[in-house]
Structures are given as structure tokens and as C-alpha cells.
Chain A
Amino acid sequence: MKAPLEGRHRWLTMPSTFAVIIGLLLAVAYAWVAIDFPVGTRLSLAVVLGVLAGVINFIGDGFEQRRLMPLRLIAEGTVSPTRPNLLGAARAVASVPELSFWLCCGFIAVGAITTAILWGFVAEVPLAIMLRVGFIGLAIAPITATLALLLTQRRARPLLKEIVAAGLPSSELHRGLPTSFVLRQRLVVFAAIAAATPLLLLVDLALARMRRLVDVLAVAKTESIPSLADQQHLEGVWPVVGLVALVLIVVSVSAWLSGSSLGQPLRELALETERLARGEHGEPPFIAAEYESLAASGALAGIETQLLSLLTPLGRAASSLGSTTHQLGATRGSSQRHALEAANGTTLELARSAKEIAASAQSVSEFARHTLDTAQSGRTSAEGFLAAMREVRRGNQAIADSVVRLNKRVQQVGRIIEFIDGIADKSDLLALNAELEGNKAGEVGRGFSLVAAEMRRLAESVMVSTREIGRLIEEIRDATNAAVMATEAGVKATDAGAALAQSVGAGLQKIVEFANQSSDAMQSISLATSQQQLGTDQLVGAMAEILRSTEASSAANAQMKSAHQHLLTLATDLKGTISTYEVRTEKEGAP
């Protein structure tokens, strides 16, 4: 298993190195644009700068690591993670962001000056350029340091929570961490840095460019001045724009980091306060923060702790009160009381039986109502069935009507077919006689006979068709007759069903009436018994009252005294607790 907090000391200081690199890049980029380096001096500057930056960062990191020694010892298992050890580590962690700031600030400033001097000697550059290199270092230092502070802070907070998780109670951590109310100063300083850094660099850049232009113009011929100015102007625009953008990005990132570093703990605090307001109190969680926010977080944790410590004695007091009262109640004595107790028992018994009767009446009433509901729903069903039956009957009637209509039509068709059949028959007869006559006429009538024979065949085929149609009509007539009979039977059946449903509905209606009556009766019984019950309850109350007053007179004084003593102790207890709470909240609430 991985040891808790292992490697965290390195993890914590990484952002400061990152900030230094960012600062260095910013400085180099600026120098490249803003300074007119003599030929061949850039490489020497880069070498000197690289070496010095490495050395300085190494030294600075060494400082930080030394500060984080308690954390490192725990992480490496050299010391056990006891509360004091963890508290030491937490203090170290909490102080690292500020340390990073000062280290960055100091070392970059020193480094810049050293670089300028060293480089000046090595590359034999003019003093003005040396000074400018130093100036750039000094200008970049504060913003770099601020970046280091904010980034380190972002890592220090979760690390503090890890320390709490490793076994350091948050209340202890709150007490152990030094509280400083310097948020306002810090914000002012940061605003100054964020505003001054770009301002300084831009002013320097503007001056440098003006100087270069003057130099160029001093040696230029009069007629080439406009073109030279244009050329200078064009040369300088894009690097400058890029540079300004870079500076602005760094400053914006710093501003965003600062804002979120302030907002995050405040949000957590708000949530925790809400939780407390809902009455969900327990071991308060640690809210990592700095300055005023840290103080507020500590105060909140204190409130929660105090509330917790208050609840325990309150609970104890309540249970003591209960037992004392019980003792008071348990004191009983005289013969009079016995008689009263007996009477009281009787009335109690009376009250109980009245209650039972009332309950029985109630349940019977319930049952009657239930029957009523059932019967009512049955009646509704019967009505529904009746309606359905009527619907079916209507449907059947409609079918029967349609079938009758169909039958009429079929009969009409039958008559038409008979007519056609008659015509065909007559045609057949005529053709037959024509054939006969034609035949008698011999050769002359031969053609006539042939035509007549053809006509006969036609008439015969018509008759065959009409016979077939007649047969079909007979079939249809049979089928429709059967359908009419079936629908009539259906109508009769639905009539019978409807009559049945009607009688069922009527029966259910009677049941509903009976159930209604019985429900009413039961309700009045229930009401009467309830009233009786009320009377007996009052009687029981009166008896109890009498009993209590008797008890009061015969209660033991000693018992009362001891009870009184108990209550006094409890009162003192509670007062002490509450006063502590008030004092602490006052102390922690005022900054």
C-alpha cells in the first residue's frame, strides 16, 4: 500500500518552478523584442541566463524543501504520523505559498542583476543595455512570484485536506494554523503588481523604440526620412503586438487564479453553513483556505464542535428529568388512595368497554358502508350490462332490417329473371317453329332453319343461365331467411338478457337501500357510544384528578427534595454549557 502523503513535498513545489520558467520565457521574449543587442551578444546572454536560472531555481527549491521537512519525514516514514507531527507538516504546507512568493521575488531580482553584470563583463556590452537587462528582470519578478504563490496555493489546499484525512482532526488543525488578517493588503499588492508589470514594460518598450528612431533619423539623409520612418514602423509592429498579448495572458491567468483562490473556500463555507442551518451537525470537515477565509472556516468548525458538546449534556439532562419525574409519580400511599384507585379502575374498565362498543359499532358501520359500495358498484355493472344488451339488440334489429331489405331486392331480381326466362322460352318456341317451317320449305328454307336453330341455342343458353340464377336466388332466399330467424332469435335473447339485467339491477337497488338503512343505523349507534365514551372519559379524568390531588398531599418530602436537587444540578450543568457556547462564539465571531 502506498504510504500517505508520499511524494507530496515535491508535488507541492513544482508550480513555483513552473512559474519561474514562465517568468523567464516572458523576460527573454521581451528582451529579444525590446533590446537592440550588439552583434554576437545574444548567445552569451542565453548561456549566462540559462546557467544562472538553473542555479537559482535549485537554491530556491532547496529552501522550500527544507521548509517542508516535517511533511517529507512523515511521507518517507521516518517519523510516525502522530497529531503533533501532522500538525507540523500542515503548518509547513500552509506557509509554502508565501515562501514561494518571496523566494521567487528575491531570487529573480538577484538573478537579473547578476545576469546583467556577468553578461556585461563577458560580452563587453554597453552599460545602458546591461541596465535594461537588469530592469527587465526586476519588472518580471513580482508577477512571476505572484503566479508561483497562486499555483502553490492551489496545491497546498488539497494537501492540507489529505493531512486531515491522514488523522489530524480539523478542529486541531484550525487551532494550530496561525491566522493572519492580511487579505486586503495581499489583494492591494497583487492589483498593483498586475497593473504595474505591463505598464512598466510597455513604457520601457516605447522609450526604447523612440530612442532607436531618433538614432536612425540622426544619421539619415533628409530626403529618405519618410520612407525610413515607415520602415521602422512596419518592423516594430508585430513583435510588439505579440509581446503585449503574452504579458496580458500572464497577467490574466494570474488574476483568474487569484479570484478562484478566494472564491473556492468561500463557496465551501457557504455550503457548510447551510448544512449546519438544516441541523445536520457532526464532525466538521476541514475547509482549506488562507487569511480571513481560514479564520471564518475555523470559527464555523468551532461553532459546530460547541453545538456537538452542547447536545450531549442536554440529552443527559433530559433523561435525568424523566427519571426524576418517574420517581415522583411512583410515590403512593394511603387507604383512601386505594379506594380511589379501585373506583378509578372501574371507571377505566367502563371507559374501555364503551370504547370497544364504539369500535364494534364503527366496524359494523364500516362493513355496512362496504356492502353499500359493493351493491352500488354491482348496480352500476348491471346498468352497464343492460345498456350493452340494448346496444346488441339495436345491432341485431339493424341486421334483421338489412336482411329483410336484401330479401326484397332478391325477390325483385327473381321476378326480373322470371320475366327474362319467359321471353327466352317464347324465343325458343318461335325459333323452333321457324326451324320447322323452314325445313318444310325444303332447300329454300334451309338458311332460315339454320338461323332459327342458332336462335334456339341462344335462347336455351339464356334459359340455362336464368335457371342457374333462379337456383342462386333460392339459395340466397334460404340464407336470408335463416339470417332473419337468427337475428330474431338474437333479439329475443338480448331481450331476455336485458330483462334479467333489469331484475338484477332492481334487486341490487333493494340491497343498496337496505345497506343504506343499516349503515345509517350503525352510524347512529356509533355516535351514541362515542358520546357515552366521552362521558366516561371525563369521569376517568375527574377520578385521575382526585387521585392526583390526594397523591400530592401524601407525597414524600424527601423525594421532592432529592428531585429538586437533581433539577438544580441539571440547571447548573446546562447553564455552564450554554455560557461556554456564548463566550466561544463571541470570541471567534469577531475578527
Chain B
Amino acid sequence: MTVTASDHISGLVLCHAGGQRLAIPAQEVDAFEPAGEAARYAGAAFESDARAPADAKVLRHRELTLSVDRVEVFATPVPRLAVPSALSSSWGGALVCFVECAGELWPVVSLERLARGDGEAAR
């Protein structure tokens, strides 16, 4: 069980990509950008052949860009739920925790870790 610094997390960007859900800590999002060719599509993390739609939103964190179908910001603090051991290394260990928002379970992905994972993979 992954134990994090705080029991709660506040400020999440709730994203929809390829019909699936993922949440990104708000503080990791530097900017929302219009769709660009270079951006990585979050939907492909669920289905490898998924393609970003034309009106996709792009989230920037430093060098990393991630495109999703649509976004909304969720400000209320919600309890962190631990990532099961079986999933600890998923998406290059970018999975931080799970939260329950609006009656649904969301996986929380750290762009920071994702960028790091990419860097590790590139090495």
C-alpha cells in the first residue's frame, strides 16, 4: 500500500479521454492549450489505437503535453485511496492514488511522474 503525505487531495482536473476517466492534480497543470500534433493522447493509455479528437484539450506540465477529450476542475478536497500493489507500476508508476468524485472512482495520474517515466524510458 502506498502511503502518501496527506490523507486528502484538493484541486483536481477531471479528464475524459476515449470514454474513460482520469484525474490530474491541478497544481501540476501549467496551462491548458489548444490541440496540437505533438501532444500525447491520454485515451491511448486505455486503448492503444485510440486517437484524439480534433477539439481535444491539451494540458501542459513543463515539457510534457497530454491531450484529453474534455476537462473540468474539481476543487473540493477528497480522500486519497491507495493504489493496489498490482497496479503500483502502471503507466510507468505515474498512478498516484484513486479518488471518489461525484460518486465515481477516478485514477489520479501525476504528470510529473509521467514526465519522469518518459525520461527514464528515453534513457
Q: Do A and B share a direct contact in the complex (Cβ within 8 angstroms)?
A: no
Point out residues on A near B: beta carbons under 8 Å. none
